[in-house]
Structure formats: C-alpha cells, structure tokens
C-alpha cells in the first residue's frame, strides 16, 4: 500500500484564491497591502526565489517592490534603508532575503525590521507572540505545514508529533505551532540518541534537517503522516543511486540534467507512511502562499481591522 500524496500546490492555490478575495475586499476600502523585498547582490538561487515572490504578489493583487542594494552594502546602509521602509505607510511587509553578504550583520538587520511588518515571523517579538499564543506574524513555512495538515483533515490534537531539526526558521516554530494545536511534541536534532526510534513514535513526522533522504523507512511508524520540508539538490551519482535506484524516469532526467531535487525523506518512505508531502510540490508552494497571507494579515493588524481567517483553518 502506498501513502496518500498531500498536494501542496493544490492547497497553496486555494490559499492564494482566498488571499486574492481578501485583497479585493480591502481595495473597496482604499487599502492595497504592500510588500517590500530586499535582495542584496546577485545570488542566483535567491534571485529565482524573489522573482517567484514578486510574481505571486502580482497574481493576488498585492503591491510589491524589489530593492537590490549592491553586494558592497554596509550594515549601516541597510539599517537606514530598513528604517525608511518601516516609516512608509504603503508598505505592510518587509522581507530581507537571506543570505546577506559576509560584511553585513544579518541579525542586526533582521532585528531592525518593525515586528508589525515582519512577514517572515523571525523577529523575537513575533517569536514571543507565537510562544505565548498571542496574535502575531508566524513564519511562512511552518504555517504552511499546519495548513497542509488542516486542509488534509489530519487530526493534530492528542497526536504524537516529532520534528526533526531545530532551526529558528522551521523546526522550532513548527514545534510551537504543533504544541499550540495540542499535539505532544518532541524536537530532535544531531545529538538525539536513537533518532530512528524517537521518530518511529510519531503520528506526525516533520523532517526539516536539510540532509537528502536521511529519513528512511525505519524512521517511520506505519500509517504515520510525513511532512517533508527539505529541498536538496543531488548531483552525485552514488547518492542518486541510493535514493532512486530502479526509477527509470528519474534516472533519465538525472542523466539529462545532472541533478535532481529530493527532500529530507527517502522516497521509499511512501511505502510505509499513511500520507506524505512530495518534493517538489509539497511544502514549498505553501511558503509563498503564506507570505501573501502574512502580508494581508500585517496590513489588517496595522490598521486595527479584523485579521483574516483562512477558509479551512
């Protein structure tokens, strides 16, 4: 028996449609939420990602701006620029695309973003709001994970959830959201004793460690829901064979391109899990959809109007 595939693209499209309707309603009141993206230098992966964000904004009717300071920018120059965006009333969300160049103090720049405009949900104020279950802006990827679970009718309350990875961007906030939704949560990392054994307890397993195919079938309890947050580029032939041996279609594509994308979960897990997110097409599309949602949420919270609710939340 093969796992049910949880279609992240379909869920992301539902959320985008809901956000677009919300933006239209706000337009009648003369408000158009705005997002400013700060992209320093020329990192090709970041440029592709930012292009996707800007295009998504246009599609749902949000105002968006892309600012591209030179690679040589100083911390002080960036701080001054962030401050100018903080002051602008037409900008509701500020997104600083990481990584920043080595000479820039990234933490200082992220801390300078007004928490009310922090659509990434990284500011300690928003982290504190999440921790104490107060309204705030929640990191996009973990928020997307929760939407997948809700919209796929996967119960969370009372379930055992295991999060593999403790990053500030995904692991910790995902654990907090699951805890807030009444799951019993364990957070694992590189120092966890008997990692497969701990993971096998999970009804819901969230893999966010950034290591290609690390979660194999012996990590997964039969019938568990597996959410794969990883996005790893595999270029090594031996590594490819470990993950996709015998998959003729993948082999042909790998030979043609010289690379393939794989999550943190080994493809064999599909034979054990009850439900699983694919890579690509799982959590990834939700990250941008939730960024759109957060921009609208920030616009409403800043103006003191009702915070939007997603249809299936």
Active site residue 120: yes
Active site residue 203: no
Of 92, 118, 120, 228, which is the active-site residue?
120
**DSSP label of 115:** G
Question: Which uninterrupted H or E stretch holds 289?
Answer: helix 284-303
The structure tokens listed for 219 are 């990590």
Dist. CA 7–CA 283, nearest whole Å: 9
289 contacts 312 by C-beta, under 8 angstroms? no
Name the region of 39 (left: φ>0; alpha: ψ -120 to 50; beta: rest).
beta
For the chain, give me the number of helices (H) and strands (E)? 11, 11
32 contacts 61 by C-beta, under 8 angstroms? yes
78 contacts 69 by C-beta, under 8 angstroms? yes
Of 92, 97, 114, 118, which is the active-site residue?
97
Active site residue 89: no
Catalytic residues: 53, 97, 120
């Amino acid at each position: 028996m093969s796992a049910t595939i949880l279609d992240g693209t379909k869920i992301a499209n539902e959320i985008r449609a809901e956000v677009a309707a919300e933006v239209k309603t706000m337009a009648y009141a003369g408000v158009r939420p705005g997002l400013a993206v700060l992209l320093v230098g020329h990192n090709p992966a970041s440029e592709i990602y930012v292009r996707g964000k800007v295009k998504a904004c246009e599609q749902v009717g949000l105002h968006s701006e892309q600012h591209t300071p030179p690679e040589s920018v100083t911390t002080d120059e960036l701080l001054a620029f962030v401050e100018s965006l903080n002051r602008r009333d037409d900008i509701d969300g500020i997104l600083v695309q990481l990584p920043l160049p080595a000479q820039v103090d990234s933490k200082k720049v992220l801390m300078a973003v007004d928490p009310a405009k922090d659509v990434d949900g990284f500011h300690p104020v928003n982290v504190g709001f999440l921790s104490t279950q107060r309204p705030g802006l929640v990191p996009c990827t973990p928020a997307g994970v929760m939407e997948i679970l809700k919209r796929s009718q996967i119960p969370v309350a009372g379930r055992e959830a295991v999060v593999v990875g403790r990053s500030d961007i995904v692991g910790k906030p995902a654990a907090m959201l699951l805890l807030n939704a009444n799951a019993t949560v364990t957070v694992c990392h590189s120092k966890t004793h008997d990692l497969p054994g701990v993971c096998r307890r999970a009804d819901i397993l969230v893999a966010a460690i950034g290591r290609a195919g690390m979660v194999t079938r012996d990590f997964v309890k039969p019938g568990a829901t597996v959410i794969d947050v990883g996005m790893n580029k595999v270029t090594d032939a031996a590594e490819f064979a470990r993950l996709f041996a015998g998959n003729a279609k993948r082999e042909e594509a790998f030979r043609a391109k010289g690379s393939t994308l794989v999550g943190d979960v080994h493809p064999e897990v599909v034979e054990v899990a009850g439900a699983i997110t694919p890579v690509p097409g799982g959590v990834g599309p939700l990250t941008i959809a939730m960024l759109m949602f957060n921009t609208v949420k920030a616009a409403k919270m800043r103006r003191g109007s009702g915070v939007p609710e997603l249809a299936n939340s």
